[in-house]
Amino acid sequence: MNLKSILNLLGILLGIFSISFLPPLALTFIYQEDGGEIFLYSFLSLSLFGGIDVVHVKTRRSHT
């Protein structure tokens, strides 16, 4: 398999998976519960890694 395609798909999936942390994050703020930081940190880290992966694969694809 093509490694660039796999890494691109992994970055997209990480980005989509990070979006799944937004509803629980919103609910913790609406109901003023503890633990919202965990969802926030998870969302930020997964979207950051997914974004870096997608950008890295896109820039490497244009150089080859």
- Say what the pLDDT of residue 57 is: 87
| One pLDDT digit (tens) per residue for the chain, 64 residues | 688 899 999 999 999 999 999 999 999 999 999 999 999 999 999 999 999 998 988 887 565 5
For the chain, the structural domain boundaries read: 3-63
What is the reported pLDDT for 60? 75
What local confidence, expressed as pLDDT, does residue 15 receive? 94
Q: Are 37 and 15 in contact (CB under 8 A)?
A: no
